[in-house]
């Protein structure tokens, strides 16, 4: 029985199901990706980039359809779904426009008479294992740079994203990506392991939990394959003395509940100086009060969307209830709807003890967890006291003060006076249990590439 389905999280209704691939279908897909790579890599980088730009154009043309698809699949509001399609489009277009220059060979000095060049060559078929929280954006930042480079893509999407997975494949085909250049796979965990082990496949990229990353990373290491792992996060938002507490609280709340709080680099720990803590929490409580469950495709002004699935909502509810049992205070929200839907009301949680299990966990849902500190050093120590290291932000009226703290964050991304700067040209990735490797921006072209030495003697 296949787990691949479209299941409306607003109702629990299964709308569509998809057959899991047979082993023979998986073999055929790997064979096509391998054969196509030999031809795709021989096309000019400009030709590949032009096709990728056409992919971006088709994303824009089909924006409404694409947005409605993921609203139904994983509960994203229509407005946020449109935002995601537009962001994915910008990433694809970025690599279509800038990819050729980022893949250019360059000369390096040599003490041996002759010319030493570093070429940036494709490596071959790649496997992407993608999550449900951003069905298009995650695929775009993996697939677009690698298609421009000349790699071919095998894409295993989340089991609740079957329709969007097939739609992306269709757009790739319509844009001119050859059949073996990009293929959607409805694969099992066992089949994923066999693909990683296949000597024809040259690398794997996973976005998911750190538990999944440990499994995929182990499989990749055992088979000597390059891996990029973008995993979880408990990103800190450090708030020092700020002039407009209400605005900073609103910025923090808006990003924390964006996409139902199901964002890897969401500001999951708000670390607030005692001089502004009470006002900050009071503002969060105002923002979290009076919210009502709404239809993702027709969201009321004070509405909130469901999480991606009933199981996801139940997990977040269980985490919050455990935190309360360990001594935390649920200030507002945190109500799991008593039906088969995935609605969980956005919550504000305070008083989570650092000696509790809850302190170490990632809350992958709309829960703003707030901590009080009494100094900059305490804020920094708390921010770095995490198994994860994706991103982090520091807010202060004194920018230099904020920069000093931000410069000492143990993360892959730091931000000053903005929760998270996100754009096609800005690299994304973390350290510690948040994984390794970078996507987007110039660094996104550097992961699955053969930086080959070319030497011509005099």
Give tens-digit pLDDT for 97-145.
999 999 999 999 999 999 999 999 999 999 999 999 999 999 999 999 9
8 Å CB contact between 127 and 205:
yes
CA atoms within 13 A on the CB side of 446: 12
State residue 1's pLDDT score. 53
**pLDDT by residue (tens digit) across 58-95?**
999 999 999 999 999 999 999 999 999 999 999 999 99
Confidence of residue 351 (pLDDT cuts 50, 70, 90): very high
State residue 140's pLDDT score. 98
8 Å CB contact between 373 and 43:
no
8 Å CB contact between 42 and 53:
no
Find the mean pLDDT for residues 264-275.
Answer: 98
State residue 2's pLDDT score. 77
If DSSP codes are grouped into helix, strand and coil, which group holds residue 152?
strand
If DSSP codes are grouped into helix, strand and coil, which group holds residue 47?
helix
Find the mean pLDDT for residues 338-346.
Answer: 97
**pLDDT by residue (tens digit) across 150-202?**
999 999 999 999 999 999 999 999 999 999 999 999 999 999 999 999 999 99
The model scores a pTM over 0.95: yes
d(CA 433, CA 153): 26
- Other C-beta atoms lying within 10 Å of the C-beta of residue 117: 14
Structure-derived torsion over alpha carbons of residues 255, 261, 266, 272, reported in degrees to the nearest 10 = 70
Q: Which residues are catalytic?
A: 230, 264
d(CA 259, CA 267): 13
* Nearest C-alpha neighbor of 180 from the set 100, 129, 126, 219: 126
Rg (CA), the chain: 23
Q: Where are the beta strands (DSSP E) in 75-225?
A: 106-108, 114-122, 125-129, 152-156, 182-185, 203-207
State residue 358's pLDDT score. 96
């Amino acid at each position: 029985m296949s787990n691949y389905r479209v299941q409306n999280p607003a109702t629990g209704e299964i709308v569509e199901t998809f057959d899991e691939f047979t082993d023979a279908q998986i073999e055929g897909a790997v064979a096509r990706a391998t054969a196509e790579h030999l031809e795709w890599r021989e096309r000019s980088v400009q030709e590949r980039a032009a096709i990728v730009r056409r992919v971006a154009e088709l994303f824009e043309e089909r924006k409404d359809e694409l947005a409605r698809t993921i609203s139904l699949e994983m509960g994203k509001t229509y407005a946020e779904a449109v935002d995601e399609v537009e962001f994915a489009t910008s990433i694809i277009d970025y690599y279509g426009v800038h990819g050729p220059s980022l893949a250019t060979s360059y000369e390096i000095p040599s003490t041996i008479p002759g010319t030493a060049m570093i070429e940036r060559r494709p490596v071959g078929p790649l496997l992407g294992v993608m999550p449900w929280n951003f069905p298009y954006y995650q695929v775009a930042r993996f697939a677009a740079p690698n298609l421009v480079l000349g790699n071919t893509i095998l894409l295993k999407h989340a089991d609740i994203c079957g329709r969007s997975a097939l739609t992306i494949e269709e757009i790739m085909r319509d844009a001119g990506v050859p059949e073996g250049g990009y293929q959607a796979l409805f694969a099992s965990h066992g089949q994923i392991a066999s693909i990683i082990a296949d000597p024809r496949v040259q690398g794997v990229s996973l976005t998911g939990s750190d538990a999944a990353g440990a499994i995929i990373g182990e499989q990749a290491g055992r088979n000597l394959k390059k891996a990029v792992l973008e995993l979880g996060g408990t990103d800190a938002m450090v708030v020092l003395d700020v002039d407009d507490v209400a605005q900073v609280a609103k910025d923090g709340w808006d990003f924390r509940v964006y996409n139902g709080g199901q964002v890897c680099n969401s500001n999951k720990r708000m670390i607030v100086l005692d001089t502004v803590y009470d006002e900050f929490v009071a503002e969060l409580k105002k923002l979290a009060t009076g919210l009502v469950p709404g239809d993702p495709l027709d969201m009321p002004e004070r509405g909130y969307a469901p999480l991606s699935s009933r199981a996801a909502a139940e997990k977040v509810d269980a985490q919050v209830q455990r935190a309360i049992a360990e001594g935390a205070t649920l200030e507002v929200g945190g109500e799991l709807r008593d039906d088969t839907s995935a609605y969980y009301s956005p919550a504000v949680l305070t008083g989570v003890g650092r000696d509790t299990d809850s302190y170490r966990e990632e809350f992958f849902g709309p829960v703003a967890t707030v901590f009080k500190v009494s100094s900059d050093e305490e804020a920094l120590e708390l921010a770095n006291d995490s198994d994860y290291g994706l991103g982090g932000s520091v807010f202060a009226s004194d920018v230099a003060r904020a920069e000093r703290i931000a410069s000492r964050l143990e993360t892959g991304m730091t931000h000053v006076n903005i929760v998270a700067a996100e754009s096609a040209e800005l690299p994304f990735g973390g350290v510690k249990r948040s994984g390794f490797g970078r996507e987007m921006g110039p660094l996104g072209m550097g992961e699955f590439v053969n930086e080959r030495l070319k030497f011509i003697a005099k």
